[in-house]
């Protein structure tokens, strides 16, 4: 029994602090293979598409499952901000969670092996990434200095070695890479077999295409900025859900002084989606990204925006002012961003200290590395 308990701790670090969020329009059979690594965690399953379909959750998992009827019941009119028929519906799971960390994974992903043949424990690696600082102000050429067996290189200023608190850990994929539809169509047989044993901080001021397939984040630091947008049925765009969230969350992290890491852990993506269908869903995004990315690159949040919630409200205003000229869709998206924050605050009310009427969870000080196990 004691051995079993130790094994659980090793396989499932921080099991009471992490929720696993899975959007699905298919089946959850992929969870069978993940049992050794995921069975000790709580799952939040967001069932997309027809709510009358009963999906089976493999035995032994502790879970809550929400379909579209549940989302409508819980959020009422505010359910309009949650995408339908798009993987972006996953952000409903971020909102109902009460945990510090979220790990989100797609239903066509499997356990990958490292070059020694050992199965990769994705959550253990994400937790390591999140619980050690990031270094967004100066690049360390040996990558993440907080990994075992490495450090800051010569010439790295000591004043910057404390780093900043990490908010996002972006994991990668073996087998089918996260390509857009045109790239998939011209390279249908391309497979990623290159395992790069590296974790690195994405520098401050640099954006990146965040993929939602293998992603972990600190919900307490950045949760309100992890909105996966308004996509899918009834919208002119799909499949830019994670991109939108990634650009927004990165500018919020940069502004609030938090870090974003990318690299390990890998999982195995088997790819269930069809590139021709994807092209139809993505084509507006392929044009609009030429405006969306410069928009995020050039915006400056005000110093009054000192929490993720306030940053996101300001971002919504900027979206309306700057992107509506690209397409009227962005006006709806900006409104949905406000609705998202309203819904988030309804489900996650700020804790008040009645004695002094101040919030008990004040904004985290910019750039602080509170509660982080530094090296």
Q: Which residues bind Mn ion (CB under 5 A)?
A: 106, 108
* CA proximity to 187, closest of 275, 280, 271, 283: 275
Residue 26, contacted partner among Mn ion, ligand LCYJ2WEX, none, CB below 5-8 A by kind: ligand LCYJ2WEX
Calpha distance 133→369 (Å, rounded): 7
**Would you count residue 239 as binding ligand LCYJ2WEX (CB under 6 A)?**
yes
Closer CB to ligand LCYJ2WEX, 10 or 233, in the complex: 233
Stretch that binds ligand LCYJ2WEX, among 4-12, 101-109, 144-152, 308-316 (CB under 6 A): 101-109
Stretch that binds ligand LCYJ2WEX, among 4-12, 146-154, 193-201, 205-213 (CB under 6 A): 205-213
**Would you count residue 226 as binding ligand LCYJ2WEX (CB under 6 A)?**
no
CB 111 within 8 A of CB 118: no
Residue 86, contacted partner among ligand LCYJ2WEX, Mn ion, none, CB below 5-8 A by kind: ligand LCYJ2WEX
**Would you count residue 171 as binding ligand LCYJ2WEX (CB under 6 A)?**
no
Please give the structure tokens belonging to residue 184.
Answer: 């998939």
Q: Is the dihedral of CA 209, 27, 29, 22 positive or negative?
A: positive
Please give the structure tokens belonging to residue 111.
Answer: 């356990």
Unique residue bearing structure tokens 């938090």: 258
**Would you count residue 26 as binding ligand LCYJ2WEX (CB under 6 A)?**
yes
DSSP string, 345-371: HHHSPPPEETTTTEESSPPPPTT--TT
Q: Is the dihedral of CA 76, 82, 86, 90 positive or negative?
A: negative
Residue 40, contacted partner among Mn ion, ligand LCYJ2WEX, none, CB below 5-8 A by kind: none
Stretch that binds ligand LCYJ2WEX, among 31-39, 86-94, 144-152, 301-309 (CB under 6 A): 86-94
Calpha distance 244→231 (Å, rounded): 10
Report the b/e string of 220-233 with b at 16+ CB within 10 A. ebbbbbbbbbbbbe
**Would you count residue 252 as binding ligand LCYJ2WEX (CB under 6 A)?**
no
Stretch that binds ligand LCYJ2WEX, among 217-225, 246-254, 256-264, 271-279 (CB under 6 A): 271-279
Closer CB to ligand LCYJ2WEX, 19 or 106, in the complex: 106
**Would you count residue 180 as binding ligand LCYJ2WEX (CB under 6 A)?**
no
Residue 193 beta carbon to ligand LCYJ2WEX: minimum distance, rounded to whole angstroms: 18
Among 79, 89, 253, 315, binds ligand LCYJ2WEX (CB under 6 A): 89
**Would you count residue 107 as binding ligand LCYJ2WEX (CB under 6 A)?**
yes
Q: What are phi and psi of 24, to 5 degrees?
A: -150, 140
Closer CB to ligand LCYJ2WEX, 23 or 263, in the complex: 23
Q: Is the dihedral of CA 37, 98, 316, 133 positive or negative?
A: negative
Residue 19, contacted partner among Mn ion, ligand LCYJ2WEX, none, CB below 5-8 A by kind: none
Closer CB to ligand LCYJ2WEX, 187 or 373, in the complex: 187
**Applying CB under 6 A, what is the total number of residues that bind ligand LCYJ2WEX?**
23
User: Other C-beta atoms within 10 Å of 126: how many?
Assistant: 27
Calpha distance 95→102 (Å, rounded): 10
Give the pairing of strands 166-175 and 18-24: unpaired
Residue at shortest CB range from ligand LCYJ2WEX: 87
DSSP string, 221-280: HHGGG----S-BTTSS--S-HHHHHHHHHHHHHHHHT-EEEEEEEEEEE---S-HHHHHH
* Residues of this chain that bind ligand LCYJ2WEX (CB under 6 A): 23-26, 48, 85-87, 89, 106-108, 178, 211-213, 232, 239, 241-242, 271-273
């Amino acid at each position: 029994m004691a051995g079993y308990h130790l094994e659980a701790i090793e396989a499932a670090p921080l099991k009471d602090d992490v929720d696993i969020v899975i959007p699905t329009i298919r089946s959850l059979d992929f969870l069978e293979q993940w049992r050794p690594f995921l069975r000790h965690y709580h799952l939040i399953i967001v069932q997309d598409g027809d709510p009358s379909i009963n999906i089976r959750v493999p035995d032994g998992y502790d879970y809550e499952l929400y379909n579209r009827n549940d989302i409508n019941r819980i959020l009422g009119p505010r359910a309009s901000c949650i995408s339908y028929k798009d993987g972006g519906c996953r952000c409903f799971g971020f909102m109902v969670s009460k945990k510090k960390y979220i790990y989100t994974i797609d239903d066509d992903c499997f356990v990958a092996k490292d070059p020694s043949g050992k199965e990769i424990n994705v959550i253990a690696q994400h937790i390591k990434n999140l619980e050690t600082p990031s270094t967004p102000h100066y690049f360390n050429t040996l990558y993440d200095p907080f990994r075992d067996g490495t450090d800051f290189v010569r010439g790295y200023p000591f004043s910057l070695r404390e780093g900043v608190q990490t908010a996002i850990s972006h994991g990668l994929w073996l087998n089918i890479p996260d390509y857009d539809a045109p790239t998939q169509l011209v390279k249908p047989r391309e497979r990623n077999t290159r395992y790069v044993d590296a974790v690195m901080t994405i520098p401050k001021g640099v954006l990146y295409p965040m993929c939602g397939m293998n992603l972990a984040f600190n919900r307490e630091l950045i949760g309100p900025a992890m909105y996966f947008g308004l996509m899918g049925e009834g919208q002119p765009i799909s499949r830019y859900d994670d991109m939108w969230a990634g650009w927004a969350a990165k500018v919020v992290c940069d502004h609030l002084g938090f870090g974003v890491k990318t690299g390990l852990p890998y999982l195995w993506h088997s790819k269930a989606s069809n590139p021709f269908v994807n092209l139809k869903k993505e084509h507006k995004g392929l044009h609009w990204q030429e405006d969306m990315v410069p928009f995020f690159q050039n915006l400056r949040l005000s110093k009054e925006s000192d929490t993720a919630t306030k940053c996101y409200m300001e971002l919504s205003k900027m979206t309306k002012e700057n992107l509506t000229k690209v397409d009227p869709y962005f006006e709806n998206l900006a409104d949905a961003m406000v609705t998202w924050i309203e819904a988030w605050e309804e489900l996650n009310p700020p804790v008040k200290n009645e004695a002094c009427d101040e919030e008990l969870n004040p904004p985290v000080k910019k750039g602080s590395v509170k509660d982080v196990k530094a090296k």
